[in-house]
Structure 1
Amino acid sequence: MTNTVTISELQFEHYPTGLGVSHASPRLSWRFDGDARDWTQVGYEVRVTRNGKAKTFAVDSAASVLVPWPSEPLASRDAAHVEVRSRGADGWTNWTAADVEAAFLDRSDWKASLSACSEIGKNGNLVLKGMAMEQVPDTRDKKPYRLRKTFTLDTVPKTSRLYVTAQGVHTTYINGHRLPDLLEPGWTSYQRNINYRAYDVAPFLQPGKNVIASWIGEGWFSTRLTWGGGVRDNWGHRPALLAQLEGDGQVLAATGDGWEWSYGATTQGEIYDGETFDSNVDDVEWLTADKPAGEWKKADALPLPDTNLVTPEIPPIREYDRLKVVEVITTPSGKTVLDFGQNFAGHVEIVAQPTGTGTLVLRHAEVLEKGELGVRPLRVCKATDNIILGGKVAGWQPKFTFHGFRYVQVSGWTAPIKGDEFVGVAISSNCSRTGQFDCSHPKINRLHENVVWSMRANTISVPTDCPQRDERMGWTGDAQVITPTFNFLFDSAGFLRNWLRDLRGDQAASNGCVPIVIPSFDSIPMFSSPHAVWGDVAALMPNDLYTSFGDKDILAESFESMKSWLGAIPRSDVGLWDTSLFQFADWLDPKAPPERAQLCTTDPFLVTDAYLIHTTRTVAKVARVLGKDDEAAKYDANARELLQTFHDLYITKGNRVVSDTQTALSLILQFDLVDPARPEQKEALVKRLALQVSKEEWQVATGFAGTPLILPTLAANGLTNHAYRMLLSRDCPSWMYQVLMGATTMWERWDSMLPDGTINPGEMTSFNHYAFGAVAAFMHNTIGGLSPLEAGWKKALIKPQPGANLTHASVEFKSPYGKYAVSWRLNGDDLSVEVEVPPNASAVVELPGVNETVGSGTRSYKVKCEAQEWPPKSLLPNPMPGGSTEDKWVKE
């Protein structure tokens, strides 16, 4: 056994734990620790213990990521103890162990049916249609209610599992012990997929009387969604619980018949509007009592939902941080506002007991405007929690809502507020952090932190556009552009694989067209209209996931979806996009009017057609990875034809682009849309891009399509100093403008807040959107100098490119193989670089005078680094007097 390499963790598929997997033969992955030089795995052993019998499987292979399950397939509820060790040239690593247990692998395993309140959503409203009265679903918000079941145990089982989900969201208890996850089961396309989870509840059971109890709220299932007042009951109108409690393989309690329900202390629980809690109503005794007080009625038993029930690989929603109040503000109008110092998604917990009676009101918002709570960006979303005083309040936090906020206006608290009476609870789907970045420039570090906070806030069950206003939907364009950044910062594989499952189902229901929001619904027809950049997520996200995690199964699952999307794109006679359609294209170009964000300066169909070629090439690449060579050749040929047509339409013989913008030039260069028969063309377009950024005085002039590409394009084409200059520009529109304005998350618009401190006049603006946070990929790949070269990070590129006034930077990434790390320090023209490569992986190191492939371990380099001109001068032939000067970039 070697002491220098160890296996640090063992994972099954992309599940956060091994309990309750929905795969009969889950693939195995393990990460390594250790600094052994040039260590590679030559074989491994897997020891699987089932029913007390162990069997060891020896495999001669270098593979350590998503290797095949070696034993017989698991049946429902089957458990196995799995141990793994790896062999290198110097011997064996340690054994590392983890337990895996299958969930229900067959629908017949469910003995439960749904339990529901006998009033809510049952009868609907009587409305006049024509000359007749007709029943339709209730359009009012669904009042939360409680469900419970009492059962008796002679002895406590050795093993006990609770399998539970809901139409809506649930908070479930066993004998008063609350399950740890929030807003379960999250948001899916419920008519096709409902997630459930398995919990080990053996520690909570007791001999004699036991109580399983749940709060049920409407959640995303039947709450109002979308703007303008919203639409309710998009997937159903009866929130209900599905639960099956088993002990030693026997059903102990199951929803359906024999459950009782009652209203309780929580009288409203709506995602957009907030929660109302009456502290005068008992909210504890019913969790454990044999016969609880109050009026309890027989619950309705409803059929098992006609949908796919599966345990998801997405981590559950949980609390990940607690924020203290940093200031108690008295506004000009005399209101009391708490400042938590950070914009985030979550809720407030009241940690102290208030005095008095009446109603305590907590109203949430992201910003202040003229010293008062800035609620206009919330539109009709109330984002307000109401607590009726008189009973126990300390410890209260909502169960059925979340808010996007930094500030909370408090009314109804009779004593002077110090701030320590409240704590902010930040929540997110609990994806583990994998990427870190730091540099000598504090404002760049703050920008990176803003990206991280926005990623957390917009990954609550699905990748959303924002967490605060009357929207919060899974916009496909936002998710598409942020995926590489997300994949670096967090272990996002299970989260996004779960979302892609819903995408494929909703796409199939739209005849191959990818809806612009996932989960999609029928209340807004535009959701199912075709949009480039947005719809291209069907091909680009699975490929990005393959690059980051090396999972061919994700490609295989999505390949038909990719082809269907290309087949569903409305085409012109020449095979490019039909120009009669509305397109978002370079959405939120900073030069677009506040109320017309689609009016980008770049020709929208240059954007759509550039993406079409890029996506077609990507599908060809995926086909080749999957061994579908004939289809790869077909899509490659189609891409070549489209490229020629693209040149005929958009690029002149003099190498000028019809739409001469930062976005257009970046798309052409980064997607390699230059004419291969004209080698001078690329040089001409690079020069033109340099002129464009000079003309804009290094301010951003890109929207959704161009922003993720502009800095990488500059850096990839010898203009790294211009990329740094744009990154550090302090004037709006720029990333640093937001930081200097006090932003703690990424904004939807470059000028969501105007220089005078007022909110952008556009009807649509938010202060927590992650799309423009794609800039963090430039920090990781170019400043830090770390990016993948082979799928799953089997091989990485280490190529830091110092610039501007930065003196040092570091980046780390917990890859599927283990930790990669790069740190560099610049002293004059002396560049010192420290590199770490995980066992069983390799890297190409590119530094001035160095170009070598290295194996695992740590290495140090000292080289001479000739810095590019800083700050770069304008490349305009005749700069305007009074143009850009050095003091317009952030120096520190």
Structure 2
Amino acid sequence: MTIKKKFPILLLFVCSGFSLGVAQKVSVVSPRVEMQENPLGIDRKDPHFSWQLKSGMNDVQQTGYEIQMGTDLQGLKRGNNLMWQSGLVSSDHMQVGYQGSPLQSGKEYYWRVRVHTNCGESHWSAVQRFTTGLLHDTDWVAKWIGEDAMSNPGESQTELHTRLAARYLRKDFQASSHVSRATLYISGLGYYQAFLNGKCVSEDLLTPSITFYSETVYYNTYDVTRLVHGGDNALGVILGNGRYFWVRGSGMEGFGLPRLLAQLVIEYADGTKKIIASDETWKVTSKGPIVANNEFDDEEYDMRKELSGWNVSGYNDAAWKNADIMSVPCKRLRAQPCPSVAVMERLRPLSVTRLASGKVLIDMGQNMVGRLNASFQGKEGQKVIMRFAELINPDSTLYVANLRTAQATDVFTPAADGRFSWAPVFVYHGFRYVEIDSIEGRPDTDDFVGEVMYDKMKCTGDFETSNAVVNQIFKNAYWGIRGNYHNMPTDCPQRDERHGWLGDRATGCWGESFMFDNALLYRKWLQDIEESQREDGVVSAVSPRFWTIYSGDVTWPSVYILAAEMLYRHYGDTTAIVRHYDSMKCWVEYICQNSMKDGLVVRDEWGDWCMPPESPELIHSQDPLRKTDGAILGSTTFYGLLYKMMEFARLTGHPEDVDNYRTHAEVLKKAYNKRFFNYETAQYGNNSVTGNLLSLRYGLVPEGYEQRVFQNVVDKTEKDCKGHVSAGVVGIQHLMRGLTEYGRKDLAYKIVTNTDYPSWGYMIEKGATTIWELWNGDTAAPDMNSANHVMLLGDLLIWYYENLAGIKNAEESVGFRHIEMKPCFPDGLSYVKASYQSVSGEIASHWSRTGKEFSWEVTIPANCSATVYLPIALHPEKPEAVRAHSIKRAGEYWVVELGSGDYRFQSKI
């Protein structure tokens, strides 16, 4: 187009090249079952299949799909003997439920999909495999076994710090040489590590996933065909205590002594099967080298007690006892529905220093979660003691007061002088620093590896800006979030807590889902929440309920509904809503009957937790004007949840419930404004930022008063809080988005880039590499401050992606099928570069402005569309676009409707 001299503008839409051949224009990628690639041991009878489309063309739309599935790989490729052949289904859906013949237990299935689009037909996808678990209780012949005695509890047992040695179990068996498939179904409580012929069956750690064990226990499924050989074989298992045995002698739930359930199914080429199942013929001992293991305290390994060859055939186990039959621990035994913990990254230390005391201090350079894999020179019988901490004192000793009663100490005892390598099996620690006593020689950084452990999941988001503080906050959040993914989203990874506090993730789960493929973790956690529910409907504020806290409030349990909504909106997954609707309805009815008075939710337990106090020396604010009335917190939150429950009722086929929820909402709104709203000042309650902001964001403000209420939010933030964080953990879930949506992106940007108290930047200035529990954790109560919490992030990560990058699931969209791209372009920020691997494909946004030049590149996945808001201030002339569905002017924006593809906007002002 013509370049004008005064306001030269250029807009280019750059489209990727076309592929040759109709079938090559579109391909199917990432086919998955139950959101997993090639999963083993699915125990759902109606699993969901999903896929994405990839194309070099623009505006690709799926018009139909075909799925084929069978039990024979070659038969599937020929199209023979299929269990499910959908035929061509006219649909743009990329997630569908299974509709074939009933699935059978322990079977191997193969499937593939191809799609039809407006640009042609794809090839068949790569063939994917999945296996079913044991679908019926009668499929199990194994028994729960263990050592039903407190033998060898270890020394220094106290009422608080429990100690119990690991159990070692083994079974010799024979197999023929014509094995076609071997599958191990196994659960060991609290944790287990399994070996077949001396080889570990998996890289999974801390299995099975934590549950409230008296309700549900999970088992894992492993394909061990490669490990079974003709002749003599041996299956060996180490049982750790995990959270099944009492982690603490008091104050936390415990369930009993460790126990094992194992069933190895060997299928031969002639069609016969052999089953090796845990029973009383197995042998057990607790006299092995892991003499103690406690998730909060330590793992102690005594090399002098090693049982050489115990997990291979031919070992002499005459001194071992026959295993005891143990009681069934749970109401339900289910296949584990989410990935296990594993080592996901390895770090070398920043420094290794020999201190004047003779001890060695390791600085990982990053507050991390996992374990230390150490190589060192040791002396016979001399304990090598490794202590872990997040912080150090000025004299280079460890600061451990914030660990509370967690001892965070691992111990290795050499059997002889020499060099050893060791890492614990049944513990993990939150740490940056490690102090090691009693190692010889001159250790250096090559001798130690920090193994980062969290639930196996892909990183889905990249984010970078021109501002170093914004970037470091993102990095700190990344390390904090994954460090707190351990079978549940925990509050902290280092002290004697590590619980699934509901309130920490009410909005956090949405921001986290931009960073990590966390759908299976949260789907599993919602099951934990339901299993924490009392018969009358109230749920525990901690789930699984190792601490049982039935407070009957709304703000913390709101995550039950909000996380289910996140799974639906971000992942297109209705499973959680359907599965838990009755339970959620029961909870809503409990609140209506027990926590409400005169139309308002009056019960509140935690308040607007961690509202930044007016003085850095205070733990909690003493200023009554900073504190929000609990009835405001509960009523606003519950009002929003009632409207979400209306949507859930429609989705699950319960239209009869919609009017009931609406009636409760209307009564609440009327009572709320009558009680709390001052029509003269447009203030709610005591005019706290949280009270006003929640009222705005949830739609409770009377029509015409919105801007005045918002101005009170701004005035309080700018004047009383001097342009800093002005809300606690409830209000901060809406702070950044609320400020931006009502026109104060500048204030939101100031809050995120502040480096003085209270701010995320202040934590960075003080050396934090994760997110603190307290805004003033260095001055108010360091012994209370976890240096690795994520609850203070609020809606920050959502704001990063939706408001800075412009990657937002549109209001009525599910699974990012329609994207709203409306960055706020704050002054002071010269570029944002972000991408998100959504369930529908990669979405990318990269905008920059330097001098008089502006550029914005966007990527929209195939079978998706986007509404792009291009500020007229950055692009005064109407853009001329290739293949835009429409372009119109609306207020301060050019609104451009686009289909899938890669596009670039450029202008010179």
Deviations 1:707-740 (A, max 9, x none): 1211111000110011101111111110111112
Out of 120, 125, 132, which is 1:102 matched to? 132
Structure 1 CA distance, aligned partners of 2:316 and 2:123? 53
Percent identity for Structure 1 against Structure 2: 27
* 8 Å Cα contact 1:356-1:414 kept in structure 2: no
Structure 2 CA distance, aligned partners of 1:441 and 1:786? 19
Matching of residues 14-53 of structure 1 within 5 Å: 14-15=35-36, 17-51=38-72, 52=75, 53=80
SS of residue in 1 equivalent to 2:504: helix
Unaligned runs of 5+ in 1: 125-136, 755-759, 866-892
C-alpha displacement at 1:669, in angstroms? 1.8
C-alpha displacement at 1:261, in angstroms? 1.0
1:532 to 2:557 alignment? no
Structure 1 CA distance, aligned partners of 2:71 and 2:313? 39
Out of 141, 150, 154, which is 2:176 matched to? 154
Structure 2 CA distance, aligned partners of 1:373 and 1:196? 39
TM-score (norm: length of structure 1): 0.90
C-alpha displacement at 1:624, in angstroms? 2.6
Structure 2 CA distance, aligned partners of 1:203 and 1:422? 32
Structure 1 CA distance, aligned partners of 2:483 and 2:323? 36
SS of residue in 1 equivalent to 2:169: strand
Q: Which residue does 1:797 correspond to in 2?
A: 820
* 8 Å Cα contact 1:591-1:701 kept in structure 2: no
Query: Judging changes above 3 Å, is the alpha-carbon distance between structure 1 residues 603 and 334 closer, same or farther for their aligned structure 2 residues?
Result: farther
Out of 170, 176, 188, which is 1:166 matched to? 188
Q: Which residue does 1:301 correspond to in 2?
A: 325
Q: Which residue does 1:860 correspond to in 2?
A: 904
Q: Which residue does 1:884 correspond to in 2?
A: none
Q: Which residue does 1:431 correspond to in 2?
A: 457
Out of 696, 707, 714, which is 1:690 matched to? 714
1:723 to 2:723 alignment? no
Q: Which residue does 2:90 correspond to in 1?
A: 61
Q: Which residue does 2:122 correspond to in 1?
A: 93
Out of 314, 326, 336, which is 1:290 matched to? 314
Q: Which residue does 1:467 correspond to in 2?
A: 493
Deviations 1:168-210 (A, max 9, x none): 1100111111121101002101111111111000100111111
Structure 2 CA distance, aligned partners of 1:606 and 1:590? 19
C-alpha displacement at 1:349, in angstroms? 0.6
C-alpha displacement at 1:41, in angstroms? 0.7
Structure 2 CA distance, aligned partners of 1:403 and 1:230? 21
* 8 Å Cα contact 1:620-1:632 kept in structure 2: yes
Out of 764, 784, 787, which is 2:784 matched to? 764
Deviations 1:350-397 (A, max 9, x none): 134545651111100011132321100001100000111234763311
C-alpha displacement at 1:582, in angstroms? 5.2
SS of residue in 1 equivalent to 2:597: coil
C-alpha displacement at 1:605, in angstroms? 2.2
Structure 2 CA distance, aligned partners of 1:810 and 1:62? 33
Q: Which residue does 1:713 correspond to in 2?
A: 738
SS of residue in 2 equivalent to 1:611: helix
Q: Which residue does 1:237 correspond to in 2?
A: 256
C-alpha displacement at 1:765, in angstroms? 1.6
SS of residue in 2 equivalent to 1:290: coil
Out of 574, 577, 591, which is 1:555 matched to? 577
1:115 to 2:145 alignment? yes
Deviations 1:383-435 (A, max 9, x none): 00011123476331111111000100111112232232211111001121112
Structure 1 CA distance, aligned partners of 2:583 and 2:213? 19
Unaligned runs of 5+ in 2: 1-21, 872-892
Structure 2 CA distance, aligned partners of 1:222 and 1:629? 45
C-alpha displacement at 1:328, in angstroms? 2.2
Structure 2 CA distance, aligned partners of 1:468 and 1:174? 33
Query: Judging changes above 3 Å, is the alpha-carbon distance between structure 1 residues 284 and 611 closer, same or farther for their aligned structure 2 residues?
Result: farther
Out of 88, 113, 138, which is 1:84 matched to? 113
* 8 Å Cα contact 1:147-1:215 kept in structure 2: yes
The residue identity in structure 1 corresponding to 2:211 is T
SS of residue in 2 equivalent to 1:351: strand
* 8 Å Cα contact 1:363-1:383 kept in structure 2: yes
Query: Judging changes above 3 Å, is the alpha-carbon distance between structure 1 residues 597 and 567 closer, same or farther for their aligned structure 2 residues?
Result: farther
Structure 2 CA distance, aligned partners of 1:407 and 1:138? 25
Equivalent pairs counted in the alignment come to: 835
The residue identity in structure 2 corresponding to 1:216 is L
1:625 to 2:655 alignment? no
Aligned residues: CA RMSD = 2.3
Deviations 1:118-144 (A, max 9, x none): 4238999xxxxxxxxxxxx99943221
Structure 2 CA distance, aligned partners of 1:404 and 1:836? 38
The residue identity in structure 1 corresponding to 2:128 is A
Deviations 1:48-91 (A, max 9, x none): 12244443422333344321214212111122210111111222
SS of residue in 1 equivalent to 2:431: strand
1:614 to 2:640 alignment? yes
SS of residue in 1 equivalent to 2:601: coil
Matching of residues 414-813 of structure 1 within 5 Å: 414-507=440-533, 509-521=534-546, 527-569=549-591, 570-578=594-602, 581=603, 583-591=605-613, 594=618, 601-654=627-680, 655-675=682-702, 678-679=703-704, 681-695=705-719, 696-754=721-779, 760-761=780-781, 763-774=783-794, 775-789=796-810, 790-813=813-836
The residue identity in structure 2 corresponding to 1:822 is S
TM-score (norm: length of structure 2): 0.88
Structure 2 CA distance, aligned partners of 1:445 and 1:708? 20
| Greater mean deviation of Cα atoms: 715-724 or 384-393 | 384-393
SS of residue in 1 equivalent to 2:97: coil
Structure 2 CA distance, aligned partners of 1:787 and 1:414? 55
The residue identity in structure 2 corresponding to 1:29 is S
Query: Judging changes above 3 Å, is the alpha-carbon distance between structure 1 residues 393 and 22 closer, same or farther for their aligned structure 2 residues?
Result: farther
Query: Judging changes above 3 Å, is the alpha-carbon distance between structure 1 residues 231 and 254 closer, same or farther for their aligned structure 2 residues?
Result: farther
Q: Which residue does 2:352 correspond to in 1?
A: 328
* 8 Å Cα contact 2:146-2:167 kept in structure 1: no
Structure 2 CA distance, aligned partners of 1:665 and 1:329? 52
| Greater mean deviation of Cα atoms: 93-102 or 337-346 | 93-102
Q: Which residue does 1:889 correspond to in 2?
A: none
Deviations 1:489-521 (A, max 9, x none): 1111111111111211221x3521110000114
Q: Which residue does 2:409 correspond to in 1?
A: 384
Query: Judging changes above 3 Å, is the alpha-carbon distance between structure 1 residues 493 and 121 closer, same or farther for their aligned structure 2 residues?
Result: farther
C-alpha displacement at 1:34, in angstroms? 2.6
* 8 Å Cα contact 1:278-1:389 kept in structure 2: yes
SS of residue in 2 equivalent to 1:693: helix
The residue identity in structure 2 corresponding to 1:89 is N
* 8 Å Cα contact 1:319-1:425 kept in structure 2: yes
Q: Which residue does 1:828 correspond to in 2?
A: 851
C-alpha displacement at 1:317, in angstroms? 0.7
Out of 217, 228, 231, which is 1:205 matched to? 228
C-alpha displacement at 1:597, in angstroms? 7.8
SS of residue in 2 equivalent to 1:264: coil
Structure 2 CA distance, aligned partners of 1:597 and 1:686? 23
